Amino acid sequence: MAPLTFLILFFTVPPYFFADSKFLYNGFHEGKGLNLDGAAIVKPSGALCLTSNSQNVVGHAFYPDPVMLFDPRSPSNTSSFSTTFVFAIDPSIPGHGGHGLAFTLAPSTRFDEAESGHYLGLFNPLNDGNPSNHIFAVEFDTVKGHGGVTNSRGNHIGININGISSVKSQLAASSYYVDDTVWKEIQIDSGDPIVAWIDYDGRSKNLSVTIGLLELKPEKPLILCHIDLTSVMKNQMFVGFAASTGIETSAHYILGWSFAVDATARQLKYSQLPNRPNEQNISSSSNNNSQLKSVLAVSSIIVLMAIVILTFLFIRMKKAESLEDWEKDCPHRFNFKDIYTATNGFNDSAQIGIGGFGSVYKGKLSSTGAEIAVKRVKRDSSQGMKEFAAEIESLGRLRHKNLVNLQGWCKKQNDLLIVYDYIPNGSLHSLLHTSKQSVILKWEQRFNILKGIAAGLLYLHEDWEQVVIHRDVKPSNVLIDADMNARLSDFGLSRQYDHNEMSHTTRVVGTIGYIPPELFRTGKASKSADVFAYGVLLLEVACGRKPLGSNQFILMDWVMEWYETGDILHVADPKLDSIYKVEEMEMVLQLGLLCTHWKQEARPSMRQVMRFLNREDPLPASDAWTNSQSIFESSSRLTMTDRSSSMSVGPISSASINEGR
């Protein structure tokens, strides 16, 4: 550049062009010189409130200094700019708020003639669409119906040039995961913090708008379009926000903001951002403050004490409001990034199990080095959220050496994750039915495992503060730790009720082969249903055979037939090579038949089962239970097949049995 040209530019370009063209607000404490207009205020928390829940108001907040959006060396090109901000829209009535907010570039911070409602405090019916406005806006609109007779709920992002009609718009949505191509709608007036990223390339004339939740920016933008802003922008423009309400009202907040010209906007520190105030609580606080002023004349000491008490209650209430019921029982919520990293992005190589609920992954926390098991509940499961909440609610407070320990959980949109201690020896099912000879369970190990399962069920049925019915006791839900002790797991189908109440479950759930006959008639699970499933498990562990097999094989019938011949030891698992204590084997097999009695009142309680296993009580005489008949013999409508089949039990489909609640 020639020296004379440089001097001309130096003295003709306004001094703000050479000033810092980047700024960052992690909260707006004391306003930091923002140019506020209309209803806009900065809350004590540092949240920028553009409008309150008042009707027909507008609010503006702009950075006080203009920014240069034309490069003097290339006046035909608009400068690139980048911004990211966190906003929250809190409607006065859920689903019926209005009207939205807009990120705005304008030649002035004054909008004296602008109207509220659909015009967002930027335009009016006379200048709407006028090229002389020189206004660029990205609107976050919560009400549809501009130009129509009636309004309706809106939830879209639009690109506006000089008017309220969008040249490009999309339903508010986000692709939440880096490798996920599925878009999911985000309700921008949910009251939750939402992050927006807006980037404009002055050379390519490409504009991108992305929205998502905190921490993880979606890989794909919501809007990507070609827009030439050369005729819209002036040499100097002010950057900020506008919002408005109408008959429908919302409180519109900006919690943090970063902006840059010809550079990428700096990352916000989400942990430093203020919380969105609760407008209802603020209103209550205002009333309380007016009362405190009148009390102040009587006693300043009482006022100070009242302030301390109210502040304490307010903090407690805010904390309680942010928690769901089941979260209160298990407050340890993991960060999604930590779980994602621990499992190597849920890589297939880390997968250690799969079932109707989803998949289980082995992971290692980088912060502690502890090994964990992560259950990732299926996102497309109709019962996914119910089972997720049920398992956390059940395991969150349960503590017993024969139950799997719940470490915590993570819920990020459709990703439902439950984190347990990692149990190294896998499931009892895999150890019983594996073809590897090196992992054959010895009888002493099997007997110890059976006693451990019984101890866990006794704790659930009688020793905890409530009754917990597991409803899916089977070998694949029993994990074996490093000391070969049993840990009962998978409480996604469990139910809780008080000790002095009756179970009210009315749907058949569980796994075919472990479901008692009365459940098909009444649908009401009880402690005796768990006892029945435990009885099937006793026979399976002793015999090494699954409850159902080919050629209509039924384990309970087979064991009963050999018992009636007087040679019950014939059914013992041949892989044991007859190395077992005869009295223990006979007792386990007979106890299995007793627990699977077709009359539920004839089955023992888990406390009685423990006394039998510990040889504290003898088994009842055989004539008390040898007349039992199999569930399968008593139900001619049952077709035998495995869990993954499409069979039905009477009018109940296997899908409802495996997945119903």
The residues annotated as belonging to the active site are: 472
Phi, psi of 470 (to 5 degrees): -70, -45
CA–CA distances in Å: residue 578 to residues 168, 437, 592: 77, 16, 19
Residue type, 250: S
Dihedral sign from CA coordinates of 508, 509, 511, 515: negative
CB 259 within 8 Å of CB 20: no
Q: Which of 120, 89, 117, 72 has the alpha carbon at shortest distance from 240? A: 120
The first and second tokens of residue 556, run together, are: 């309970």
527 is in an annotated binding site: no
Listed residue (333, 350, 329) closest to 417, CA to CA: 333
Residue 315: in which H helix or E strand, if any? helix 300-321
Do the Cβ atoms of 428 and 449 come closer than 8 Å? yes
Cis peptide before 99 (omega within 30 of 0): yes
CB-CB neighbours of 10 under 10 Å: 12
Q: How far is CA 547 from the centre of its chain?
A: 36
Written as six digits, the tokens of 379 are: 């996102």
For 390-415, give the DSSP string: HHHHHHTT---TTBPPEEEEEEETTE
3-state secondary structure of 310: helix
Q: Do 16 and 23 meet the contact criterion of CB atoms below 8 Å apart?
A: no
- The three-state secondary structure class of 652 is strand
What 119-128 contacts at long range (C-beta under 8 Å, 24+ apart), as own/partner pairs, is 119/164, 119/244, 120/58, 120/164, 120/242, 120/243, 120/244, 121/38, 121/58, 121/59, 121/60, 121/242, 121/243, 121/244, 122/164, 122/242, 123/163, 123/164, 128/163, 128/164, 128/165
Which residues touch 214 (CB under 8 Å, ≥6 apart)?
86, 193, 195, 270
Is the CB of residue 567 less than 8 Å from the CB of residue 589? no
Residue 137's nearest CA partner among 110, 109, 164, 104 is 104
Alpha-carbon distance of 614 to 94, in angstroms, equals 59
Q: Which two tokens stand for residue 156?
A: 């879209």
Q: Which residues are annotated as a binding site?
A: 375
Q: Which residues are annotated as a binding site for ATP?
A: 375
